[in-house]
A and B are shown apart, each in its own frame.
Chain A
Amino acid sequence: MAKPNTDKSKNAAPAEPEYPLTTMAVVAPFVGWLIPGGGHLLLRRYGRGVLLLVSVVAMFLIGLGMQGRIYKPNGGDILDILGFVGDVGSGLLYFIARAMDWGNVMAANAAADYGKTFLIVAGLLNFIAVADAHHIALGKKP
């Protein structure tokens, strides 16, 4: 009579590789948030970093040029708070714009609406880039 197989290690799922949290895995996303593409540049992914920098900065500047509105943190309305979360994703660009009082307009036309969307999406895209920099620093992504 055959002996039943009791070896659990053969049936166990393959272990996930571990990615220890390093200093660079914290610093690179933070730099990438402040300066779009900065995390990738810090990790020596120069081509990707420059493309991310150009894309996010261009979207932010086009949004400002289209008279888009910059949201403030104390907007009160839940949609204003969500708009702020999107805007603040652009990092230093957001703080510079607030300091220079750019984007403090209440223009009611279609272009201003597109501009507001450009500003929010620039920040959201930078959040994706920040997560990517974190994954590269961990070694999850080449």
Chain B
Amino acid sequence: MSINLSHFSAAVVFALFASIVFGITQRNSTMEQVKYGAYCFALFVGGVFLAGWVMALIRR
């Protein structure tokens, strides 16, 4: 079995699973867990876009 993911899709998959674990383990109530998981996911993916733009600007 071989999986070929692009850098972006690998980062999104990584963000998804890491956010689920962070949400469950770092908050107590269900709603807080969902909110914190979504917050972590947004930060992960936002960080990917930010880093991408920074690297693109440096490359110019």
A66 to B13, CA, bound (A): 13
Evaluate contact between B21 and A111: CB separation under 8 angstroms. Answer: no
In the complex, A90 has a CB within 8 A of chain B: no
A56 to B14, CA, bound (A): 10
Evaluate contact between B18 and A125: CB separation under 8 angstroms. Answer: yes
Evaluate contact between B4 and A52: CB separation under 8 angstroms. Answer: no
Evaluate contact between A59 and B14: CB separation under 8 angstroms. Answer: yes
Q: Tell me the dominant secondary structure on chain A's binding face.
A: helix
A55-B25 contact given A65-B2, A65-B3, CB 8 Å threshold: no
A129-B21 contact given A62-B13, A118-B14, A121-B14, CB 8 Å threshold: yes
B19 and chain A: residue at smallest CB distance:
A55
Q: In the assembled complex, which residues on chain B have CB atoms less than 8 Å from the CB atom of A129?
A: 21, 24-25
Per-position 1/0 for A44-72, Cβ under 8 A of B: 00001001100110110010111100000
In the complex, B1 has a CB within 8 A of chain A: yes
Per-position 1/0 for A92-124, Cβ under 8 A of B: 000000000000000000110011011001000
Q: In the assembled complex, which residues on chain B have CB atoms less than 8 Å from the CB atom of A141?
A: 28
Tell me how many residues of A have a C-beta within 8 Å of chain B. 26
Q: Tell me the smallest distance from the CB of A48 to a CB of chain B, in Å.
A: 5
Q: In the assembled complex, which residues on chain A have CB atoms less than 8 Å from the CB atom of B10?
A: 66, 111, 114, 118
A115 to B7, CA, bound (A): 11
A64 and chain B: residue at smallest CB distance:
B1
Evaluate contact between A56 and B21: CB separation under 8 angstroms. Answer: yes
Contact of B5 among A48, A59, A111, A132 (CB under 8 A): A111
